[in-house]
Amino acid sequence: MASNENSRSRKSGGTVSAIRKTAAGLGGAVSSDTIMDLVQRLGLLDIAVDKIRTRLEQTDVEEMLDDVTDYLRRNPEIVVVLLGTVTVAAGMIVYLERADRWRNWTIEAEEEEEPAPQRPRATVNNARRRAS
């Protein structure tokens, strides 16, 4: 099993460097669709997911939570930035939801309004009728 993982890591390292060399050779003119196609064909995503899955299976959840808690205690500015980010994101969601409701409400109100009655245009004949 270890030889299988070693061959996968060699394969993924070689393909990543090949993609980088190709992109550099083309002057960086490789689209993201082309890169995603290469990733899918070479199975790079499967390799990365397998590595992450193995790492998570080997990790104790309580130990990881303790490590995260200790890190956040040593670096309280991270907590402040995270809370600010969550606050801004929540505010944007509320703002966009209200803006969407307001737009839908005004569109519905415009559709429900009856058009104002048209006044007759001022023409020579209308002016003569009024005068007589």
What Å distances lie between residue 84 and 16, 92, 93, CA to CA? 36, 12, 14
Calculate helix-pair angle for 44-58, 2-25, nearest 10 degrees: 140
Q: What is the pLDDT of residue 73?
A: 94
Give residue 26's pLDDT band: very low, low, confident or very high (50, 70, 90).
Answer: low
d(CA 110, CA 75): 53
The pLDDT value given to residue 123: 65
The structure tokens listed for 48 are 């990365």
Q: Does position 7 have pLDDT exceeding 60, yes or no?
A: no
pTM: 0.37
Count of residues in the chain: 132
The first and second tokens of residue 60, run together, are 């104790």
Q: What integer best gives the mean pLDDT of the chain?
A: 75
Distance CA 79, CA 67 (A): 15
Structure tokens at 112: 């429900």
Q: Which of 1-15, 20-34, 85-99 has the highest mean pLDDT?
A: 85-99
